[in-house]
Amino acid sequence: MRRSPFLLFDPSLDNSSSRADSEEGGMAVNNVQTESSPFYDERMGLNSNLLTGPVTFEWLSQAEDARLNGSSDAFQPFLDKAAQSAEAAMNGDHASSRFSVINEFNIWRQKPELAEAVAAIKALTCVIRRSEATTMMGLEIELKKAAETLKMWDKTSISLSAGCDLFMRYVTRTSALEYEDISAGKSRLIERGEKFGEISLKARQTIANLGQEFVYDGSLILTHGYSRVVLALLKLAASQGKRFQVVCTEGRPDNTGLEMAKELMGAKIPMMLILDAGVANMMGQIDMVLLGAEGVVESGGVINHIGTYQTALVARSMNKPVYVAAESYKFARLFPLDQMDMSPTPRIVDLAVPAQEENIKIQTSERDYTPPQYLTLLFTDLGILTPSAVSDELIQLYL
Amino acid sequence: MERRGRAVIDPKVRQVGFVTPGEGTDLINLAIPLEQGANSPSPVLIPPVRINDGASVAPAKAAPMPVPSPTSRRHPTVDVNLPLGSYNPADSVLGSSNTPSSGKAGSHGESLRSSATFIELQSETSDYPTVGSGTIAPVLITEKGPPPPLHIPPGGSSPLTPMNVQADKGKSQKVGLDEKAKEGKTKSLKERTSKAERRAAQEAQRAAKKAAEESGGSKPTKGDVGGTGASQKDSKASKGTHQKTNSAERRTSSSGKPADKGQEKEKKKDVPAPRMQFDDAERVAKAKKRSLVEQTETKNRVELFRHLPQFVHGTQLPSLESKFFQDESMHPHPAIYKVGLQYLTGDLVGGNARCVAMLMAFREMIQDYSTPPEKIFVRDLTQKINSHVSFLNTCRPLAISMGNAIKFLKTRVVNLAEELSEAEAKASLIAEIDRFIQEKILYADKEIVKHAVQKIRDGDVCLTYGSSCVVEMILLKAHEMGKKFRVVVVDSRPKLEGKRLLKRLLSEGLDCTYTYINAMSYIMQEVTRVFLGAASVLANGTVYSRVGTASVAMVAHAFSVPVMICCETYKFHERVQLDSITANELGNPDALVKVWGRRDLTDLEGWSPEDKHLQLLNLTYDATPSDYVAMVITELGMVPPSSVPVILREYRRELPG
């Protein structure tokens, strides 16, 4: 009897019984269904309201509005509700201080230029500020709790958990230095948290500076999805008088590519939109592929918006360089072996299937893992790295 | 890196010639392995002609190499056929001059001293008096006290920053030497002579020494001195001294002229440490004389593998027993003896098991140890350890992991605080050994299991090859956690280790498939994960493991099945290896002759090693290139094979700390 692994694990091909099996077993991929984070419960509820029929322009514009306003007003109540429920779930015993790390996090998150990881660190800094702990140990425990809350709140976000981990790492290191004086230790940590925000803004600038060297006159650059770092890089290159063109993919399912295109239009960079499925079609003319990343993992590969992997594969087969621009706080101690092995659960995607055809199986991951062998270089604020150097940095950081 | 960590240099200055081999060794051990790997231009030079008559005669004829010129006698094989990048487990473990001297410890220090005096005399009476005194002072000083780099933790020589290390070494050396020189330790410091003059003086000295010492000259050129200090298994004690002198001289010169440092550094690294080459008849004969275990050489010498130790197994017992009782000074501690016999007979297999058994034996030995009168605890103990290690090594070549463990133990011995009483020192050593076993092996295994289990999901088909205890723990743990998966145990002749694993897995109720490695390409279609153990992971990510691992990994790679290597970090080694030839272990060729369960297959029975047309090769290990490895699972987490040097760099510091 031969059981092909490929058949076995492709959810889209599974019949429902085997799927139920795998859910029972708590497979990473399907964790979402069994124990989804409050944030996503809410979000899915929101989306399912909107998506009762096929995709309409109405929906698209709504979604776009929501995206452009960051966490829009329409979205905010859900966030708050989610925050409260998570809060209640996580620290019911913590009722004494009515300060919520998640609310704090959301406040920071709404700032357009602030990445999720930085927002998390800012929120944790606030925890330190408000802390009434009298020892460094106590502070550490309190922080750990807050970080856990944050991580639980949105389990799917790699940069959020990476940011939390990073900050916690710093805290434990500092307390390892044995600050006798709690206030000195505290102020030092706060200072560090403040600095981190600046660093992260600077990181984008550093990356843009380093990366723009790779953009040359007359080049045709393919991007996929929306990335603030890539955008900064391209804008910087354009501002230096380099003449190049950008090809943006559509970026389904949430059309992040459209957003990218809009931004590029605003910056007066010539650009062209293509379908996600048209990447291979275009690749022959492309000079380089420039991608962002949600997370950079231990192997040096990246986790990013779905379609990144295929873009990198096509680029490799046509010998085009693939560059990834990512800040170092996106480095995470993860090591997925393959697409089905991503431990922070992939987000659920709604493909807007009409209600009457519900029994159609849908592939639901919203991002994929690109192995390091398909990447040429990583532009990070630590410098321009080969994929294998990521692990080096991570080991130095975490061990 | 704390290279100047020890502040006890001064009191030792007086102890001319009592440099224990262990201390000298450690420096060497630390520095050499990386040089070996990093600089070997080609790992092996394949002898062009197949010499058949060499097989039946002694190894003397086995090496069809040009006769080395007298000047290069010290490393006769270096230029000729020495596989430069190769690794002899004994080397990293054994001291330069101490190994062979098992049982001759007394004469050792003697000869060291005499040669030191010799240098002194020579400097006074030599034809180059002005120059000589300038050079000789530092030489003697380095001879006397253990030079600062002796106390470098193994973390000192990081593979990635050899230059810094060297520079540091040079610097610290310089400081130490200058200070001591000012103390007026030897003759007054005359006007500094020029580089050229000093060099000339050194050359002359060396030449004079060569003439005086019949035992062997060194190469005249500086670059060739690189092998200095190397842990040459069978070099005689006097040779060891000689080497040290050379290294001292070299250091002197490098400290004397900082401008030349870069150049010096390069030269230093030029020639990696020579190691025992078993196709070198002369040395093999010497080593044999000294060895406790009687080693009958196989007549069956396979082309390309002549440099490896090749002995007939299983016949040593009687002679070993007779020797054991005949010479008091020679026999090892009973615990060590027992472990050695277990290695010899093959009762004790598996990297971790062997290593733990060895450490426990050493623990017992240290417990029973008492310093003989007029000896110094640290030095005598180091010597004892060395001779025991060489005994174990003749029983079965030590694995790389065991080499690391011994290196650890010896570093601890050398680093013992001087004010400790003997009992305290022993207690602390025993505690260290226990800690090593606990932390680096047992706890590490637990961590590895924790990491690796995450990678097994429901519905997986996990393949493993041979029998690795960590992999077994992983599979059992995953089963215990209620994961539903299937195991494919791949096995190979002649050891068929997988059968035991299979039995244990079945008794726990796992679903297993058992197959031979021949069926790999078929069975791989249904496999989703490959878990393999390793004897060692080398700095270039090469996995050194039981023979057959490479084929499994390659087939898995061809089917895009991720290959995960489960290996504790204490097994990592900073050597680089590209093939399975340069360092390996030869198994018993007779194991290939009999086919288990097939009495009718008698074609090879009664084969004669004298047969020129038949060579049986039973390799023990092979090297898997890192391309085929998806990840290495260590107690520090899951890392890509490209991160092995990072771990080596970051964590070696920890070892001696």
Select from A2, A25, A28 the Cβ nearest to the Cβ of B525.
A2
Mean per-residue pLDDT of chain A: 74
Best mutation target, A335, A339, A343, A374, to test chain B (most B CBs within 10 A): A335
Nearest chain B residue (CA) to A338: B562
Residue B637 and residue A298: Cβ atoms within 8 Å? Answer: yes
Does any CB of chain B come closer than 8 Å to the CB of residue A393? no
Nearest chain A residue (CA) to B651: A399
The residue written with tokens 């390309």 in the block is: B304
Does any CB of chain B come closer than 8 Å to the CB of residue A173? no
Residue B636 and residue A399: Cβ atoms within 8 Å? Answer: yes
The ipTM is 0.72
- Identify all chain A residues contacting B636, using CB atoms and an 8 Å cutoff: 395, 399
Give the tens place of pLDDT for each residue, A277-301.
999 999 999 999 999 998 999 999 9
> How far apart are alpha carbons A344 and A349 in whole angstroms?
15
Select from A5, A28, A388 the Cβ nearest to the Cβ of B640.
A388
Interface contacts (A, B; CB < 8 Å)? 74
Instruction: Pick the closest to residue A163 from A197, A140, A189 (CA basis).
Output: A197
Q: What is the pTM of this model?
A: 0.66
> How far apart are alpha carbons B309 and B585 in whole angstroms?
7
Residue type, B406: I
> How far apart are alpha carbons B55 and B43 in whole angstroms?
24
Backbone angles phi, psi at B89, to 5 degrees: -50, -35
Size of chain B, expressed as the number of residues it contains: 657
Select from B457, B483, B564 the Cβ nearest to the Cβ of A28.
B457
pLDDT at A351: 67
| Top mean-pLDDT range of A83-97, A256-270, B63-77, B327-341 | A256-270
Q: Give the domains, in start order, of chain A with CATH numbers.
A: 99-203 (1.20.120.420), 215-351+362-398 (3.40.50.10470)
pLDDT at A367: 83
CB A380 within 8 A of CB A207: yes
Select from B458, B526, B562 the Cβ nearest to the Cβ of A22.
B458
DSSP string, B309-378: --EE-S--HHHHHHHHHH-TTTPPPHHHHHHHHHHHHT-S-SHHHHHHHHHHHHHHHHHH--PPTT--HH
Residue B528 and residue A5: Cβ atoms within 8 Å? Answer: yes
Residue A343 and residue B454: Cβ atoms within 8 Å? Answer: yes
pLDDT at A296: 93
Residue B562 has pLDDT above 80, yes or no: yes
- Domain(s) labelled CATH 3.40.50.10470 in chain B stretch across 455-585+620-654
pLDDT band at B102 (very low <50, low <70, confident <90, very high): very low
Smallest CA–CA distance, residue B511 to chain A, in Å, is: 14
Q: What is residue A348's DSSP assignment?
A: B
Smallest CA–CA distance, residue A332 to chain B, in Å, is: 12
> How far apart are alpha carbons A212 and A108 in whole angstroms?
29
Helix B105-125 × helix B129-144 angle, to 10°? 160
DSSP string, B250-314: HHHHHHH-GGGHHHHHHHHHHSPPP---TT-HHHHHHHHHH-SS--EEPS---TT-TTS--EE-S
The number of CA neighbours under 13 Å toward the Cβ of B55 is 19
Residue B637 and residue A333: Cβ atoms within 8 Å? Answer: yes
Select from A300, A340, A398 the Cβ nearest to the Cβ of B640.
A300
- Domain(s) labelled CATH 1.20.120.420 in chain B stretch across 281-440
- Identify all chain B residues contacting A4, using CB atoms and an 8 Å cutoff: 525-526
- Identify all chain B residues contacting A300, using CB atoms and an 8 Å cutoff: 640, 642
Smallest CA–CA distance, residue A370 to chain B, in Å, is: 14
Smallest CA–CA distance, residue B563 to chain A, in Å, is: 9
| Top mean-pLDDT range of A331-340, A354-363, B20-29, B607-616 | A331-340
Does any CB of chain B come closer than 8 Å to the CB of residue A341? yes
Does any CB of chain B come closer than 8 Å to the CB of residue A177? no
What would the two tokens of residue A75 be? 């979205």
pLDDT at B210: 66
Least confident of A260-274, B384-398, B468-482, B625-639: B384-398
Q: Please check whether the domain covering B455-585+620-654 is classified as CATH 3.90.1580.10.
A: no
Cβ-based interface (< 8 Å): residues of B facing A: 454-455, 457-461, 483-484, 525-529, 562, 564, 630-631, 636-640, 642-643, 646-647, 650
| A308 compared with B416, residue with greater pLDDT | A308
Mean per-residue pLDDT of chain B: 68
Does any CB of chain B come closer than 8 Å to the CB of residue A299? yes
> Could you count the other beta carbons within 10 Å of the beta carbon of residue B464?
27
> How far apart are alpha carbons B83 and B86 in whole angstroms?
5
Least confident of A87-101, A263-277, B310-324: A87-101
Does any CB of chain B come closer than 8 Å to the CB of residue A399? yes
Residue A245 has pLDDT above 90, yes or no: yes
Percentage above 90 pLDDT, chain A: 33
Residue A299 and residue B457: Cβ atoms within 8 Å? Answer: no
Q: What residues 11-30 of chain A have any CB closer than 8 A to a CB of chain B?
A: 21-22, 25, 27-28
pLDDT band at B348 (very low <50, low <70, confident <90, very high): confident
- Identify all chain A residues contacting B455, using CB atoms and an 8 Å cutoff: 337, 341
- Identify all chain B residues contacting A3, using CB atoms and an 8 Å cutoff: 461, 526
Nearest chain B residue (CA) to A397: B650
Q: Give the right CATH number for B281-440 from 1.20.120.420, 3.40.50.150, 3.90.1150.10, 1.10.10.410.
A: 1.20.120.420
